[in-house]
């Protein structure tokens, strides 16, 4: 049986189910308890689990991230919520220098089973310092796993897998997608980390994206279908480990690739996907790979400039026509 749930409800259900299943799991972060979460993802969890397992923290990301890392090294499984990954910049020392390196620096004696989660990417007129996309930042660090998915069903299953994982996992959500609805199965299930999803079958071009950029990507696929161009759409879901095999197999079929990525173009996720495809499927490409990224500037504040900054369906359709040599 499936129900229709929002993304925020599916994430809450994942955390609550894992906290019922395992008493070592707890949630901490700014406003997660008394206020029910900045985006109401943790609504009702304080009442069910109490203040020892749903913990409001001061506005001190470096401090509470460090508490989480220490708790993970001592046998607990913390879920650390950042109000936005933009604020997590203050905690990068704990994430990058401690959590990611615990296993290697201890020669395998200590694991660090911790989840860092919160929204990444733009969310309208929030200004440059609140609108950055962090998937490529975190995926660049050995020892970290990175999940980035807005589909409610998959987001729930991936978050449950992240909580059970013995390595630190960064879960990137989207502030403007928490109300997105989708079918979510009842009962316990997980989605494996490191496996992409083919959202639409196609024959003429492969479109690869993740997180909220899946929406303009799927819209572009429909527009292209109306013009007789069949697009296969792949949702990466996990950035590290990256399921490049699914992408390569699709490119071998379609012979063309467009990668849509909210990250800045320089050294972003799209750059990594493009490199690997040219390495493993070069002989199958009938055209150079094209990337559709956010503009290579800090996000402007004006709404018209926000629209110009981000990828959209029209930009994706234009890119596809370039790789398909269609005017």
Please say whether the beta carbons of 124 and 306 come within 8 A. Answer: yes
The residue annotated as part of the active site, out of 61, 135, 173, 232, is 61
Q: Which residues of 78-97 are buried (b: 16+ CB within 10 A; e: fewer)?
A: bbbbbbbbbbbbebbebbbe
Residue closest to 165 by CA, chosen among 201, 117, 120: 117
Task: Say which residue the tokens 């490529």 belong to.
Answer: 136
Q: Which residues contact 184 (CB under 8 A, 6 or more apart)?
A: 2, 3, 4, 5, 9, 10, 13, 152, 153, 156
Q: Give catalytic status of residue 48 as yes or no.
A: no
Cα-Cα end-to-end distance for the chain: 46
Q: How far is CA 247 from CA 93, 206, 253, 285, in A?
A: 33, 8, 10, 12
Q: Give catalytic status of residue 61 as yes or no.
A: yes
Q: 123-128: list long-range contacts, CB under 8 Å, 24+ apart.
A: 123/174, 123/175, 123/176, 124/176, 124/303, 124/306, 125/301, 125/302, 125/303, 125/306, 127/299, 127/301, 128/298, 128/299, 128/300, 128/301
The residue annotated as part of the active site, out of 30, 81, 130, 135, is 130
Q: How many angstroms separate the CA atoms of 192 and 213, rounded?
A: 21
Positions marked catalytic: 61, 130
């Amino acid at each position: 049986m499936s129900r229709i749930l929002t993304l925020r409800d599916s994430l809450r259900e994942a955390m609550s189910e894992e906290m019922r299943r395992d008493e070592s799991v707890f949630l901490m972060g700014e406003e997660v308890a008394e206020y029910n979460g900045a985006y109401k993802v943790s609504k009702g969890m304080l009442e069910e689990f109490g203040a020892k397992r749903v913990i409001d923290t001061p506005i001190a990301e470096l401090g509470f991230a460090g508490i989480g890392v220490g708790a993970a090294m001592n046998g607990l499984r913390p879920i650390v919520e950042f109000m936005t990954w933009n604020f997590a910049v203050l905690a990068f020392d704990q994430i990058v220098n401690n959590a990611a390196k615990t296993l290697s620096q201890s020669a395998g004696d200590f694991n660090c089973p911790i989840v860092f989660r919160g929204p990444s990417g733009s969310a309208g007129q929030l200004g440059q310092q609140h609108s950055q996309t962090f998937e490529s930042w975190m995926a660049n660090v050995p020892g970290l796993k990175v999940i980035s998915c807005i589909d409610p069903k998959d987001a729930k299953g991936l978050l449950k897998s992240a909580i059970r994982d013995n390595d630190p996992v960064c879960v990137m959500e989207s502030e403007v997608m928490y109300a997105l609805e989708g079918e979510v199965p009842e009962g316990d299930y997980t989605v494996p980390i490191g496996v992409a999803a083919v959202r639409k079958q196609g024959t003429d071009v492969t479109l690869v994206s993740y997180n909220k950029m899946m929406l303009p990507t799927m819209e572009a696929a429909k527009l292209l279908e109306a013009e007789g161009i069949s697009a296969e759409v792949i949702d990466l879901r996990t950035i590290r480990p990256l399921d490049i095999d699914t992408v390569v197999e699709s490119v071998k079929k379609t012979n063309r690739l467009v990668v849509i990525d909210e990250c800045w173009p320089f050294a972003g996720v799209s750059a990594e996907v493009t490199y690997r495809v040219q390495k493993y499927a070069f002989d199958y490409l009938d055209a150079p790979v094209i990337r559709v990224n956010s503009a290579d500037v800090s996000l402007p504040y004006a709404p018209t400039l926000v629209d110009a900054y981000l990828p959209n369906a029209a930009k994706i359709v234009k890119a596809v026509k370039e790789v398909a040599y269609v005017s």
